[in-house]
Amino acid sequence: MGNIQRKEYDATENPAIKNPDWMSKIPDEKSLCDLSIPGTSKSTWYEGLCIKQCQSWDLISQYEAGIRFVDISLQYCHKNQPSFTDMTRRNLFIPVWNITINFLRNHSKEVILIRLYEECSDFDKTKEFAQLMMRFIQNAGWSWFWKSPAIPTLGQVRGKIIILQDFDGPVIGIPYKNLIVADNQYIPTVFDIGHKWTTVIKNLAEAQNSKGDKMYLTFTSGRSSGAYPYTVAREINYKLYNFLEHLENKKNRWGIIAMDFPGSYLIQAIIQSN
């Protein structure tokens, strides 16, 4: 993979451009449905083998670069605590809250959307998982979170975390099932990346032409033993950057775009669509 840094693809440790306050320039009355939001897929998978690593920036670097959607997969460890399904299996869930809240303290006009879901459990602990999530949120303080399933305006949620809740239990945010999602993550071989791009562009077109009453989420990422995440990202990110650049920063509603190894200029192109 190497320490490659390009406009659309970045496998280095630090983003070339930082844009930690870009939401401050957007009017309060804008609905989140009307925004173009850069995000990451498997946001904490920045360690491990080539088939597993999906990011090279840690979470704070992602936020500083302008990322406002993160994708957090959890599973139980032996101590009945949720832990990341990354290569290290370290319990880093509480640091996610701490990093995110500290960022919002310093950048109070921003909002962070976090998709939370349980992955690879050996047995059904849905109820216990939901209870643990509630406990973590209560300990962090409910004032940091948007507690309604309704999609808010930006002014309603500045300085807050929005949970995109991808698990059953009491409502603690916006249900993930209410989003229009393109999430075809399995790409058998490098020869199938073109099909992946077709699904990406289709969902972006739907977001662009929508009435603005639904939130769209497009995953540009994909992986398999025949197509490593960085291989997919290099090609898809290149296509996405060229697509956005061709539009010359015209105002468009793309929804959330979740990427692997996004380059800083690609992130800025998404932000400038607003």
| One-character DSSP codes across 8-52 | SBB-SSS-S---TTGGGGS-TT-BGGG-EEEEESSTT--SS-TTT
Predicted local confidence at residue 34, as pLDDT: 96
What secondary structure letter does DSSP report for 178?
Answer: G
Res. 93: pLDDT tops 50? yes
89 pLDDT band, cuts 50/70/90, is very low
- Span 25-52, average pLDDT: 91
Predicted local confidence at residue 120, as pLDDT: 59
pLDDT 10s digits, 106-130: 999 999 999 988 775 544 556 777 8
- Span 175-185, average pLDDT: 94
Res. 23: pLDDT tops 90? yes
- Token output for 55: 């990011």
What is the pLDDT of the chain when averaged over all its residues? Answer: 89
Res. 9: pLDDT tops 90? yes
Which range among 72-81, 125-134, 153-162, 222-231 has the greatest average pLDDT?
153-162
21 pLDDT band, cuts 50/70/90, is very high
Contact status, residue 87 vs residue 49, Cβ threshold 8 Å: yes
| Separation in Å, CA 28 to CA 80, 145, 154 | 40, 17, 5
pLDDT 10s digits, 207-265: 999 988 999 999 999 998 899 999 999 999 999 999 999 887 678 999 999 999 999 99
Predicted local confidence at residue 86, as pLDDT: 44
Look at residues 16, 37, 47, 56 and name the one whose alpha carbon lies nearest to residue 233: 56
Q: What is the pTM of this model?
A: 0.93
Q: Which residue has the higher pLDDT, 75 or 153?
A: 153
Contact status, residue 274 vs residue 36, Cβ threshold 8 Å: yes
Task: Give residue 106's Cα distance to chain centre.
Answer: 20
Predicted local confidence at residue 108, as pLDDT: 98
What is the spatial distance between Cα 242 and Cα 168, in angstroms, rounded to a whole number? 39
* Domains, the chain, ordered by start: 30-271 (3.20.20.190)
Predicted local confidence at residue 46, as pLDDT: 81
Predicted local confidence at residue 125, as pLDDT: 58
What is the spatial distance between Cα 270 and Cα 66, in angstroms, rounded to a whole number? 10
